[in-house]
Structures are given as structure tokens and as C-alpha cells.
Amino acid sequence: MVLEMYREGWFPMYEGPREGVRWLQPEHRGIIPLDEKFHVSRSLRQRVRSGRFLLTSDLAFDEVIRACGQPASGREDTWLHPEIVHVFGLLHRAGLAHSVEAWLPPAGYQAGGPAGKPPKGSILVGGLYGLHLGSVFCGESMFSRPALGGTDASKVCLVSLVERLRRQRFTLLDAQLTNEHLNQFGLFEMPRAEYLLHLSKHADDPMSWA
């Protein structure tokens, strides 16, 4: 049922104990461009090139979604109801939901360890997750932990995600709602009718995440 709702352009949002979980379909969809309109600031490019963070995918999905649901400064309530977390855990195990993680390696770390795994003692300082529908990726949420050394970690994960989607020839990165945090990347609005038409054409594209 959840997959069918996403395929029809809906996504869930927890709006508090009284309202519970509601399904939303905004008039305009927030879209992050996958072409040359995707903007990365000079300072963020430097952060990406610095190699400060070790990036992985699908290595700590449960940790990422729980971190995304934790209250933060200016966001004392969470939109991630335990039921949403549970369902996305099932979707992840079915190969339909994915995460990107940023790790801060321990002091003295030197590259060259096992591929795809951070060394022992690494700290998860940022990440994002979303749903994979054909050649459409529905980005759900992202987080970073500046107090643990994760300044810009979620942004670096987003840059990595866009690079992956480009390599795999995805057609759309859906951010669902517009917000100031994502505007810096070239976020634009897509009318609902256009978004639904794109979904109908591409939700069954045989795309690989790996």
C-alpha cells in the first residue's frame, strides 16, 4: 500500500499526536536537479575534496533513519512516526529504500582498509535516506551532527547521492517539499501534474542502485 501511494505521488508525514500520520501531495514538488543546474558552493566543493568524511551506502540504514527522526534545534518535534520508521526498514530490506552515510574516521586513520566499510572507531556524523522507484529517487530526510565533527556531513552525502544518481542515469531526485536548506543546491518547483506524469513514465524503469 505504501509503495502504491508513493507511485501515485503521495508521501507520509507525522503531524503530531492529535493528527497522526497523514498522506500529503503538494501542488508543487521540490526537485533537486541532476544536471548542470545542481549547484555546489566553493566551500562545499572543498569539503568534498578534503576527504574528511568516509562515505558508504546502505551500511547503517536503521541508524540513519533514527537519527533523521531525532529532535534538533528549531525542530523539537519529529515528523518520523515509529510506524514510518518500521515500514521504511522493511522497504530497505526489500532493496527499495537506501541510505548514504558519512563517517568521521578515528585519529591517525590512513586510507586502504576494506572497501565499503569504515574503520573501527568511526563515528556516524551525517546521512540521508530515501525511496527508489524506478529511475525516481524520493529523498526523505537528512541529518548531520556538527557537535561530533559532522559540519556539512549531510551536504556531502547529498553531493554523493547526486553523483550516484547521475552515474546510474536516474531521471529525478524528488525532495518533496521546498525549504531554504536545499535552495542552495538549485532546488526548483515542479507542478503536481508534471510530477505525476513523470512518475507514470519512470516509476518502473529497470534501474540499479549498486
Q: Is the pLDDT of residue 16 over 80?
A: no
User: What is the rounded CA–CA span in Å between residue 79 and residue 73?
Assistant: 14
pLDDT, one tens digit per residue, over 66-114 is: 999 886 655 445 567 888 899 999 999 999 999 999 999 998 776 655 5
pLDDT of residue 80: 77
pLDDT of residue 30: 96
State whether residue 146 is helix, strand or coil: helix
List 56's β-bridge partners, or say none: 101
pLDDT of residue 116: 66
User: What is the rounded CA–CA span in Å between residue 172 and residue 130?
Assistant: 13
Full-model pTM: 0.91
Q: Is the distance from CB of 173 to CB of 32 less than 8 angstroms?
A: yes
pLDDT of residue 117: 80
pLDDT of residue 62: 96
What are the respective helix, strand and coil percentages of the chain, to the nearest 5? 30, 25, 40
pLDDT of residue 154: 96
Q: How many CB atoms lie within 10 A of CB 84?
A: 20
Task: Give the chain's domains with CATH numbers.
Answer: 28-202 (3.40.630.70)
User: What is the rounded CA–CA span in Å between residue 99 and residue 56?
Assistant: 8
pLDDT, one tens digit per residue, over 170-194 is: 999 999 998 888 999 999 999 999 9
pLDDT of residue 34: 97
Task: Give the contacts of 75 (CB within 8 A, at least 6 positions apart).
Answer: none
String of b and e for 152-176 (b: at least 16 CB within 10 Å)?
bbbbbbbbbbbebbeeeebebbbbb
Half-sphere exposure of 100 (CA within 13 A, CB side): 29
User: What is the rounded CA–CA span in Å between residue 103 and residue 125?
Assistant: 6
pLDDT, one tens digit per residue, over 132-156 is: 999 999 999 999 999 999 999 999 9
pLDDT, one tens digit per residue, over 44-60 is: 999 999 989 999 999 99
